[in-house]
Amino acid sequence: ILDRLRNAGAGDQVDSWVGTGSNRPVQRDQVEKAIDPQTLSDLAEQTGLSRDELLDRLTRELPDAVDKLTPDGQMPVSKGPNLLDEVPGPSSSRT
């Protein structure tokens, strides 16, 4: 998801979350561009939030969540799938 956010124009923000400085806010439209529309609908249904509420919450919470997952200023080395890699982007095929 971080690469998709970078591709949606939020590269400086993502870098600030991963880095050790303060977290820059992301724009809601950047989050919306980075996540597959069906995934957003599925998450809204699963959480009981409206799509707008979900996007608002993701926009607000993603910076701190990524910051906490990258305490040393870099993505942790993982031997398996990473939670942030599991969110389909807009061009992902869904099965």
Q: What token pair was written down for 82?
A: 């990473």
pLDDT-based confidence at residue 35 (cuts at 50, 70, 90): very high
- The count of other CB atoms within 10 Å of the CB of residue 84 is 18
CATH of residue 9's domain is 1.10.10.690
What pLDDT does residue 67 have? 94
Whether 95 is covered by a domain: the verdict is: no
Q: What token pair was written down for 16?
A: 């600030």
pTM: 0.76
What pLDDT does residue 90 have? 64
In the predicted model, what is the mean pLDDT of residues 67-90? 69
Name the domain count of the chain: 1
Whether 45 is covered by a domain: the verdict is: yes
What pLDDT does residue 94 have? 46
Residue 21 has pLDDT above 80, yes or no: yes
Whether 93 is covered by a domain: the verdict is: no
Nearest to 54 by CA among 64, 44, 66, 41: 44
